[in-house]
Amino acid sequence: MKESLVTLKTRNNKQLLKFKERIAQIKSKEIITSCLDKISGEYRSYDPGWYLYHELNKKRDKLDIFSDDYIELIYVTLSSWNMNTRAAELAEFNAFKRLLRKNKKLILSLGKYRIEKLTEAETEKVLGVLEQLFYNLKDLCYQRAKVVTFSKCLHFLLPNLIVPVDRAYTLAFFGKYDIPTESPKQFELYKNLFLAFVELSHKYDLSKYLKNRWNENIPKVLDNIVIGYEMRH
């Protein structure tokens, strides 16, 4: 059988191997439960970030996700998730909105995929589109490190596929505290994080953890497992 392009590109990828070793630390349902319990009891209970995220997910099926109202809610939610501070400054709203709409076709092409159901061939296709979007959407924020803003913004648009990434928990869990300044290396980092989360999503049935406060979708469950693990350790 012909080896897929994704496998060929990542077979000797030391960073991805390291990330998969970290994922292997989530080695039982008991660990998952304890991590999510930690989140449920202690993580940002009833703060504006949680409330806006909850509202965003409620309205997603009722609004055009490229409407002014929905993009405005994305923008405000990103701000509440500390994406519009000195360290991470979003582009001006109208420019932000134009950029998302300019890439509407590419974003919508990923709408049918769910992270926990991706085949290897689908993973390869998704990564190809994500790479295009990573470069196309680089001006969503002003800072040189784009991975965090990119992942969180796309999570709001593609909540069943994209895991939101942050520095304090995600990158700390994977042992990668610094984001490279060069765009190709940034996407390589993001790609490896994505592949590691794909692996974890295939390892367990996470659907039973849905609709428990922060757990609005499988990618957020994956994110919460990592956050909870870091909080416990």
Give the model confidence (pLDDT) of 15-24 as tens digits: 999 999 999 9
Written as six digits, the tokens of 84 are: 């519009």
Instruction: Give pLDDT, residue 86.
Output: 56
Give the model confidence (pLDDT) of 219-229 as tens digits: 999 999 999 99
Instruction: Give pLDDT, residue 185.
Output: 94
Mean pLDDT of the chain: 89
Instruction: Give pLDDT, residue 2.
Output: 36
* Residue 22 · residue 175 · CB < 8 Å: yes
Instruction: Give pLDDT, residue 3.
Output: 38
Residue 4 burial (C-beta neighbours within 10 Å; 0-12, 13-18, 19+): middle
The residue behind tokens 């409330």 is 51
DSSP tag of 35: H
Residue numbers of the domain that contains 158: 5-232
Number of domains in the chain: 1
Residue 213 pLDDT more than 80?
no
* Residue 180 · residue 149 · CB < 8 Å: no
